[in-house]
Chains A and B, each alone.
Chain A
Amino acid sequence: MTTLAPTGRLRGRNAPRRADVVFRGGTRAFGGAVIVTLGVVAAVLVVSSAPAWTRFGVDLITGTTWDPVRDVYGALPFIVGTLYSAAIALLIATPIGVLTAIFLSEFAPRRVSIPLTFTIELLAAIPSVVIGLWGIFVLSPFLRDTVDAWLIATLGWLPFFRGPSFGVGIGAAGVILAIMILPTIVSISREVLSSVPNSQREAMFGLGATRWEVAVKAVLPYARSGVIGAAILGLGRALGETMAVTMVIGNGQDIPVSVFNQAQTIASKIAVTFNEASGGLQSQSLVAIGLILLVMTLLLNVAARLLVSRAQQGPAR
């Protein structure tokens, strides 16, 4: 049968409407722009840092002196500083955060858990520089006069707690990072715990368990990978934090050993040095360590997200 030309109200049209084409094309361009942006960011960082990599290679990571005078750059102190402060932050924030998440998900009545969750999440909205300001003038003197003094008095024989303390240093950075990643750990853990099916709790209750036992022996194991994912996400955030850390970490060039040592993280070193680095090898080296930071945070974020999404799909395997 032949095809008849459309007549009457069925207009003929040999191409899709122009408005649709424009709209689709426009939105596709913007969606593509996101992908292009990612490519540009990666490319700029790699290209800008290339001379440093070719010049120093692995020494950029293992070298311990950052010397603009002799144009030799090794970032080990900063890498250690980054990991050290993040480890302190995790050590403090994970137990508190997970316990809080358990409280919010398992023990607290709704009229307490809802405003409390809201309040804790609000902490995440405070700008880093404001927390840093508070860190310099409030937290740091407080730590120096109370916690640090006590630590030096009781544990000062350990290399980790060898004084004196000026309030600023890697330990202060760790504490302030702990405060900043706490909301992340709490909110994601709480979500993961809440999504554990009630049948698990009921089964445990039916066996005569106490509420604490149900939380720790039924709910937490079920959501284990998600809670680990939450901690890893917190770690990722800690690594990338710049301003608050810069403001309380002091200015150390050596690998920190004691928590009272002043130090730098990768992010803080870039923050204080980039503008005076005047474009040469030092700038390129700064970008190079920034690239290391990027790779670390990216890997952690991917791992964390995988864990969290796995947890929400079923029991920990």
Chain B
Amino acid sequence: MAIEMRSREDQPAVTTRPTIAPASARVPTAAPDPAPAARTTKIEARDLNLYYGSFRAVRDVTIDIPANEITAIIGPSGCGKSTFLRSFNRMHELAHGARMEGRILLDGVDIYDRSVDAVDLRRLVGMVFQRPNPFPTMSIYENVSAGLRLGGGPKPKDLDEIVEDCLTRAALWDEVKDHLGDSGTSLSGGQQQRLCIARALAVDPEVILMDEPASALDPIATLRIEELMLELRGSYTIVIVTHNMQQASRVSDQTAFFSMGEDRAGYLVEMGQTTTIFTNPREQLTEDYISGRFG
């Protein structure tokens, strides 16, 4: 089936660059959709297959994630969306028996190359999880600064300012500024999730992955997380996995729809501009899912 994606047919297959180029050198792509020019691709996956032991969870995915926009990944449960997301920050490989085939490029660099340190990668590509997971033995301040304090490398001198900045951007500063010493777990669920977002921001990533970040939260907290995402867009590339189609349509610029094949492996059905996907999708399967014809 045809897979909608950023077409690169009129670009050379290989883009060679001189070594040690600044990370800002991006690969320009042409988009078949009417979109503002100079949209760049942040992450490219090519023929990606993800396994747990002999079980294939994700099959043959080729996809481009544009930079500084919000990409939503939707689809029924069990079709490998989380597995797929975790391959972007090499968290997938931590599972027992995990295996990948294919390539994933970040700014054109193969992140699974032997010479890439997964730990460094994870500072570039941050993650927010489904259930808030602040470190239970650390205070709010310590939680936000954890990545900087523990990640090796010298502690920045302006740690206080960084903590305040991140908490502000996570829309949490005003609520906690007077009790930064309280335990991270003393906050409500929604606040804890925003704390986790602040924590992820503190290491200055370029990409933020969100695995159903609001599914454990009440509607009001969910709304605040969505507002937060829209504020972060433009400075960060955001990829969000969500069960909630309305959330995807509210928040994202493009949407990728995954489904589960008969071999129980997830695959990419269709990807495109969010408005297109939700009003005029190309695949019947997408249409069925969006109109609720199957789970």
Contact A5 B23 (CB under 8 A): no
Query: Is B212 an interface residue, CB under 8 A from the partner?
Result: no
Query: Is B117 an interface residue, CB under 8 A from the partner?
Result: yes
**Bound-state Cα–Cα, A2 to B109, Å:** 10
Distance between A259 CB and nearest chain B CB, rounded to angstroms = 56
CB closest residue in chain B, given A8: B23
Most chain A CB atoms below 10 A, which of B22, B109, B111? B109
Known: A4-B109, A6-B115. A11 touches B120 (CB 8 A): yes
Contact A4 B108 (CB under 8 A): yes
Contact A1 B103 (CB under 8 A): yes
Among A12-20, A37-45, A78-86, A198-206, the stretch in contact with B: A12-20
Known: A1-B103, A3-B110, A4-B109. A11 touches B117 (CB 8 A): yes
**Bound-state Cα–Cα, A185 to B116, Å:** 56
Query: Is A278 an interface residue, CB under 8 A from the partner?
Result: no
Query: Is A10 an interface residue, CB under 8 A from the partner?
Result: yes
Contact A10 B114 (CB under 8 A): no
Query: Is A54 an interface residue, CB under 8 A from the partner?
Result: no
On chain A, the number of residues with a Cβ less than 8 Å from chain B's Cβ atoms is 17
| Total inter-chain residue pairs, C-beta < 8 Å | 60
Contact A7 B14 (CB under 8 A): no
Query: Is B2 an interface residue, CB under 8 A from the partner?
Result: no
Contact B114 A14 (CB under 8 A): yes
Known: A13-B117, A13-B120. A4 touches B110 (CB 8 A): yes
Query: Which residues of B are found within 8 Å of A5, using beta-carbon distances?
Result: 19-20, 109, 115
Known: A10-B106, A11-B120, A14-B114. A4 touches B22 (CB 8 A): no
**Bound-state Cα–Cα, A91 to B286, Å:** 72
Query: Is A111 an interface residue, CB under 8 A from the partner?
Result: no
Query: Is B17 an interface residue, CB under 8 A from the partner?
Result: yes
Contact A9 B120 (CB under 8 A): yes
**Bound-state Cα–Cα, A9 to B16, Å:** 18
Distance between A222 CB and nearest chain B CB, rounded to angstroms = 34
Contact of B16 among A2, A13, A17 (CB under 8 A): A2
Contact with A along B8-51 (1 / 0, CB 8 A): 00000110110111110000000000000000000000000000
CB closest residue in chain B, given A20: B119
Contact A10 B19 (CB under 8 A): no
CB closest residue in chain A, given B115: A12
Contact B23 A3 (CB under 8 A): no
Contact of A6 among B13, B16, B109, B152 (CB under 8 A): B109
Query: Which residues of B are found within 8 Å of A4, using beta-carbon distances?
Result: 16-17, 108-110
**Bound-state Cα–Cα, A74 to B114, Å:** 66
Distance between B237 CB and nearest chain A CB, rounded to angstroms = 14
Distance between A51 CB and nearest chain B CB, rounded to angstroms = 49
Contact B120 A7 (CB under 8 A): no
Contact of B19 among A1, A2, A3, A7 (CB under 8 A): A7
Query: Which residues of A are found within 8 Å of B119, using beta-carbon distances?
Result: 17
Contact B110 A7 (CB under 8 A): no
Interface residues of B (CB under 8 A from A): 13-14, 16-17, 19-23, 103, 106-111, 113-117, 119-121, 123-124, 152, 206
9 contacts between A and B (CB under 8 A): A4-B17, A4-B108, A5-B19, A7-B17, A8-B21, A8-B22, A9-B123, A10-B116, A17-B152
Given contacts A4-B16, A7-B17, A19-B152, 20 further A-B contacts (CB under 8 A): A1-B103, A2-B16, A3-B110, A4-B17, A4-B108, A4-B110, A6-B109, A7-B19, A7-B21, A7-B107, A8-B107, A9-B124, A9-B206, A10-B106, A10-B120, A13-B116, A14-B115, A17-B117, A17-B119, A17-B152
